Structure 1
Amino acid sequence: MLKIENMGISINEKQIIHNITCTVNKGKFIGIIGPNGSGKSTMLKVIYRHLKQTEGIVTLHEKEIWETPPKELAQQIAVVSQETPLLFDFTVKDLVLMGRTPYKKWLSTDNTEDYQIVEECMALADVSYLADRTLYELSGGEKKRVMLARALAQKAEILVLDEPTNHLDIEHQLQMMDLVKDLPITILAALHDLNLAAAYCDELLVMKNGTIYASGPPQQVLTAENLQYVFRVNAEISTNPFTNKLHLFFYTK
């Protein structure tokens, strides 16, 4: 579905990521983990065309992403980035409506279907009560959930999330992860919380020094040896009795 071959990117003659090769299969929840500066966000920015790779190729349905018209790509890939600066202070409802833009012709107006989708997506992201508030009135966590609602309104087949639980309290972290896990689409998410990654992701890409160090199911890649080498921490690994997923306890000495 989404295929990356020998991808690399250099910025100001500095190699940021290199030799990235992987395939993201349809319907999978893929987590990207790694320490700060390992290249997680840069890799995602190449995938959603915020940056252009200087090496290799990225294809979606066997078509290079830079050959895909922007509107068509927006129907295929939706994004919730770490920060979303806006020049104007829109209401939450208007902002979520922007997720329908890829389906609009020039000067066409929003219709009943658009409004229905917006209401559904705001409810899914638990932001319906914020519909008439402006973005500048919201907390960081509320903004994050609004941007998720906008991405959901795109009805794309791939959802890219860059630190989706950043700024969220524990309740909304779990709500967001539950929500995206249940979506019948492909999820590609950069995550800092390794326990969330272990609990929700089907597969993990472990990044270090700008490339993929390990990949596979959480049980395969989240080993004490890998965690010590990649994150420079010691870990005790057990099974959560409530979820039957891995649970990691970290210590430095």
Structure 2
Amino acid sequence: MLAVKNVSFSMQDKQILHNLTFSIDQGKFVGIIGPNGSGKSTMLKIIYRHLKQTSGVLTLCEKDLGHFAQKKLAQELAVVTQETPVVFDFTVRDLVMMGRTPYKKWLASDNQDDFAIVEDSMRLANVQHLQSRTFNQLSGGEKKRVILARALAQQAKILILDEPTNHLDIEHQYQLMDLVKGLPITIVAALHDLNLAAGYCDKLLVMKDGALYMEGTPEQVLTEETMKQVFQMQAGVSRNPFTQKLHLFFYTEHEKGLGKN
């Protein structure tokens, strides 16, 4: 569905991404992982056209992503960024309604379908009780869920998430991941928490120093060797006894020595 072919990106004579090639199949949950500075967010920004690649091409359903009109692209891709500044202090309901903008003609009014989609989006993101409050009154976690509701209201085919669990407490982290996992669309997410990546993603792309280090299923990718080579950490790999999902635990060389006593 989405293909990235030989994509590189440079800024101020510094190359940040190096010849990336990968594809994302329709309906899959794909996680992008890697240490800070590895290029995860930059790659996402190129996919949703916040940045323009220096070379290479991105295609969506075999059509060059750069040829999509902005409104059409917004019907295909919805985005939840790490930080979403809102200049004017809209109510939550009004902000979520903005997700319907790609389907509107100039000065068109909201209709019953829009109202129903907004209600459903707020319900899914668990923000219905906040709908009359203004955005700047909300906590960081509440703001994240409202922006997710706005993205859901777009009803796009692909949802792009940049560190979606940032600012969320552990309960809402898992609620959000359960929600997006259950959506019948393609999910592309840059993730910091490797155990969330292991538990929810169908495929992982591992970034290191702006290049694609490896890709595969969580079982193929999240190994002790990968943790050492990419994240510079000692790790063990086990299974969650309740879910049987892959689980990583980390330790230092000092702690490893203590375990032998």
TM-score, normalised on structure 2? 0.96
Q: Distance in 1 between matches of 2:117 and 2:135?
A: 20
Q: Distance in 2 between matches of 1:81 and 1:152?
A: 14
Q: Distance in 1 between matches of 2:57 and 2:40?
A: 17
Q: 1:19: Cα distance to partner?
A: 1.1
1:142 corresponding residue in structure 2: 142
Q: 1:240: Cα distance to partner?
A: 0.9
Give the letter for the 2:113 counterpart.
E
2:123 corresponding residue in structure 1: 123
Q: Distance in 2 between matches of 1:86 and 1:92?
A: 11
Task: Compare CA radii of gyration and give the structure with the larger one.
Answer: 2
1:2 corresponding residue in structure 2: 2
The count of residues paired between Structure 1 and Structure 2 equals 253
Q: 1:252: Cα distance to partner?
A: 2.1
> SS of the counterpart of 2:164?
coil
2:93 corresponding residue in structure 1: 93
> SS of the counterpart of 1:243?
coil
Q: Distance in 2 between matches of 1:18 and 1:133?
A: 44
Give the letter for the 2:84 counterpart.
T
Unaligned runs of 5+ in 1: none
> SS of the counterpart of 2:250?
strand
1:33 and 2:33 correspond? yes
Q: 1:241: Cα distance to partner?
A: 1.5
1:235 and 2:252 correspond? no
2:257 corresponding residue in structure 1: none
Give the letter for the 1:156 counterpart.
A
Deviates more, 1:182-191 or 1:242-251: 242-251
Give the letter for the 2:25 counterpart.
N
1:244 corresponding residue in structure 2: 244
Unaligned runs of 5+ in 2: 254-261
> SS of the counterpart of 2:75?
helix
Q: Deviations over 1:15-42 (max 9, x none)?
A: 1111110010000000000000000000
Over the residues paired in the alignment, what is the CA RMSD in angstroms? 0.5
Q: 1:197: Cα distance to partner?
A: 0.2
Deviates more, 1:241-250 or 1:69-78: 241-250
Deviating runs (4+, > 3 A) in structure 1? none
Q: 1:219: Cα distance to partner?
A: 0.2
> SS of the counterpart of 1:78?
strand
1:213 corresponding residue in structure 2: 213
1:172 corresponding residue in structure 2: 172
Q: Deviations over 1:139-175 (max 9, x none)?
A: 0000000000000000000000000000000110000
Q: 1:105: Cα distance to partner?
A: 0.4
Give the letter for the 1:235 counterpart.
A
Give the letter for the 1:222 counterpart.
L
1:163 corresponding residue in structure 2: 163
Q: Deviations over 1:113-148 (max 9, x none)?
A: 101100000000000000011110000000000000
Q: Distance in 2 between matches of 1:236 and 1:191?
A: 19
Q: Distance in 2 between matches of 1:82 and 1:248?
A: 24
